[in-house]
Amino acid sequence: METLGKYFIFLSRLFVNRETFGTYFKLVVDECITIGINSLFLVSLVSFFMGAVTTIQTAYNLISPLIPDYVISLVVRDMTILELAPTIIGVIYAGKVGSSMASGLGTMRISEQIDALEVMGINSASYLVLPKVIGSLLMYPLLVILAGLLSMLGGYLAGTFTGVISPTEYVYGIRFDFNEYMVTFAIIKSFVFAFLVASISAFKGYYTTGGAVEVGKASTAAVTQSVIAILTADYLLAQLLLQ
């Protein structure tokens, strides 16, 4: 409870004694490049093969002649939009971006750079962390949309090249009985996950104490707690929004 209270107090500090809009604009753009652009390759690679593997495994399990082939791509579509794109990519996002945030802020803390900002009268929490949170909220939903697209593209290519489903049936299954609310649900989850990963990772890094060993521990704790928060939020959002 003490840590949870400290976390909420930390969040409240992000919105007091802020800097000018121009300062934050430049910082947010830098964070968007670091968070989004630098994560494109990893997210694209994982998403593509995630869709390909899901297609092959779904086809392997649907062995009944009574089940039409287009059900394969329908399953891939629903799994990708509802769970794989926002949640699995969220775990990878926590491992790559979250650990980087925690280690960066932890290094600044133990090298007394954060203390120097405080001495200069700058709200270090707002100056250092708020751009990271905003950049995460801006870029992660875009990464989820890209992941969903590439996952279904990977499934299309895998299903076509292996012959488990024809291109026409795959496209038909993708379009069959489509519920637009699934996309809305995925975008809502992506915003929640983006905030959790950025805020928890920044919190763990900002309050690092000790030396280089503690920076590593803070980075590990940031990833672990971010993943736990993602999975917990995933269940709660599904319970609230899909009932």
4 in a structural domain: no
7 in a structural domain: no
Name the domain count of the chain. 1
Instruction: Report CA torsion sign: 214, 215, 220, 221.
Output: positive
6 in a structural domain: no
Over the stretch 149-172, which tens digit does the pLDDT of each residue have?
999 999 899 888 888 888 888 888
Q: Which domain holds residue 165?
A: 20-241
Over the stretch 48-70, which tens digit does the pLDDT of each residue have?
999 899 888 888 887 677 778 78
Q: Angle, nearest 10°, between helix axes 40-61 and 124-162?
A: 40
161 in a structural domain: yes
Over the stretch 70-90, which tens digit does the pLDDT of each residue have?
888 888 888 888 888 889 999
222 in a structural domain: yes
Over the stretch 20-46, which tens digit does the pLDDT of each residue have?
777 788 888 988 888 888 888 999 999
Predicted pLDDT at 228: 93
- Please say whether the beta carbons of 222 and 99 come within 8 A: yes
180 in a structural domain: yes
Over the stretch 182-224, which tens digit does the pLDDT of each residue have?
899 999 999 999 999 999 999 888 888 877 788 888 888 889 9
Q: For residue 56, what is the enclosing H or E element?
A: helix 40-61
Rounded CA separation 227/230 (Å): 5
10 in a structural domain: no
31 in a structural domain: yes
CA 156 to chain centre: 24
